[in-house]
Amino acid sequence: MNLPNRITIARICLIPIMMVFLLVDFGFYPSPLRWYSYELPYNQLIAAIIFIIAASTDGIDGFLARKHNMVTNLGKLLDPLADKLLVAAILISLVEMGKCDSWIAVIIISREFAVTGLRQVALLEGKVVAASYWGKVKTVVQIVAIVLMLINNFPFEFINVPFDVIVTWAAALITLYSGVDYFIKNKSLLNLSNS
């Protein structure tokens, strides 16, 4: 197994560890980090660090695979799967914690399933649906929104700006737009005229 695939598998392995820190109350955490009115439980801080590490490996494994000509079928399967598992796991966890509205999680996760389905249809036709500009923007905005929710809107909490909410709404809207964009640009794959 090559290095990019190992990095991808490591990203998948980080997901349950992140969820354990986020959702399991071990009862031995010290009191949360406090600074004036700001408060951040240690488990959320640890989960945020794990999420950032896992999310950053997405670009690393793909870059290494392309640069060193190590693209494999296993990597083509695992890389997008790892991305979707990471985002779905953290969003579902944030919904359970009351930090993310369920409708936003549903939009984001549904878009991922829909675009994955579109890519599968493209593969059956011998075509590839490449990542779009809006798909890349979507990924960045989602990561920023998730990190802000995990760290309780730091540092914007000090100036009473709900930046985590603003970025989360932006992530939902960009996610929706990028999904629609994929389907419009690839509508020929769906054979709508035959339905």
High-pLDDT (> 90) share of the chain, %: 56
- Of all helices (H) and strands (E), which one includes residue 103? helix 102-124
Answer yes or no: are the C-beta atoms of 42 and 30 closer than 8 Å: yes
- Say how far residue 139 (Cα) sits from the centre of its chain: 7
Q: Which domain holds residue 176?
A: 3-194
> Domain total for the chain?
1
Q: What is the pTM of this model?
A: 0.89
What CATH number does the domain containing 26 carry?
Answer: 1.20.120.1760
Among 112, 65, 63, 46, which residue's Cα sits nearest to residue 84? 112
| Per-residue pLDDT, 192 | 53
37: pLDDT strictly greater than 90: no
At 64-122, the pLDDT tens digits run 888 888 888 788 788 888 999 999 999 999 999 999 999 999 999 999 999 988 888 88
